Amino acid sequence: MIKAVLFDLDGTIVDTESLSAKAWYLTADAMGFTIDDETIYSFIGLTRPVIIERYADKLGGPNRADKAFEMHYDYKFELAETELRLMPGAEEALRALSDQGFKLGLATSSARDIATRELEPFGLMELFGASTCGTEAPASKPKPDIYLVTAEKLGVAPSECAVVEDSFNGVRAGHAAGMKVFLIPDLVSPTPEIQSLCTRQLESLHELPAAIAQLNAEAAQS
């Protein structure tokens, strides 16, 4: 039986991935390097240190990569002032699950100050009984650590948790943690490998409360 629902943030609750892509292109233009959609999408679900480590050469070395990341954030927050939106059904799903007695957790690769800044305008941070952000877990997605740490904070066994994700790395993390994974694709369509790791694929968060209720009903009958 599912007792807790653990959410990714970017591209799952808040519609930030498209803003991030725009910000990376603006940064590339400003700093004189080349970037493409494939590279930007490969960043999804990873922490800042991991991205800098893996892509330092492409961004001109570690120091220049760190500067690029900071500039990307500046552009992203400038865009967010007028363009930041919740993903469809986000508030409704969170409030419905909370009202139904599910424990809610936030497990995001974004740093805590970034996550807070993205959620505060919508008044949703208070719904989460526990949160784990950025490098607060021992290892980044696709490792399961961030989900295992969040479940422990909530006092719930991994097998009693559902994970809600949009990214490949997040799906891998949730599956590796031994949790039920609900995938709601955002910018990238899932591969057969990613689909095989998911319990359900949904069109939007509007479908999530009913999908979890159905899963629990099936578990009760088995």
Q: Could you tell me if 54 and 76 lie in one domain?
A: yes
Average pLDDT over residues 18-23: 92
Average pLDDT over residues 88-95: 98
Catalytic residues: 8, 10
Name the band, by pLDDT with cuts 50, 70 and 90, for residue 156: very high
Q: Could you tell me if 106 and 26 lie in one domain?
A: no
Q: Could you tell me if 119 and 46 lie in one domain?
A: no
Q: Could you tell me if 107 and 78 lie in one domain?
A: no
Q: Could you tell me if 56 and 129 lie in one domain?
A: no
Tell whether the model's pLDDT for residue 46 goes beyond 90: no
Q: Could you tell me if 105 and 56 lie in one domain?
A: no
Three-state DSSP at 179 gives coil
The residue range of the domain holding 110 is: 4-15+85-221
Q: Could you tell me if 74 and 143 lie in one domain?
A: no
Query: In the chain, what's the furthest Cα-to-Cα distance?
Result: 59
pLDDT of residue 2: 98
Q: What is the 3-state secondary structure (H, E, C) of 82-142?
A: HHCCECCCHHHHHHHHHHCCCEEEEEECCCHHHHHHHHHHHCCHHHCCEEEECCCCCCCCC
Angstrom distance (rounded) from CA 84 to CA 67: 23
Average pLDDT over residues 6-27: 93
Render pLDDT for 172-206 as a digit per residue (tens, 0 to 9).
Answer: 999 999 999 999 998 888 999 999 999 999 999 99
Angstrom distance (rounded) from CA 48 to CA 27: 15
* Average pLDDT of the chain to the nearest whole number: 93
Query: Cβ(168)–Cβ(194) under 8 Å?
Result: yes
Strands in the chain per DSSP E: 4-7, 103-108, 130-133, 161-165, 180-183, 200-201
Q: Could you tell me if 43 and 148 lie in one domain?
A: no
3 by Cβ neighbours in 10 Å (0-12 / 13-18 / 19+) ranks as middle
Q: Could you tell me if 174 and 128 lie in one domain?
A: yes
Q: What percent of the chain has pLDDT over 90?
A: 76
Structure tokens at 137: 């877990």
Average pLDDT over residues 101-115: 95
Structural domains counted in the chain: 2
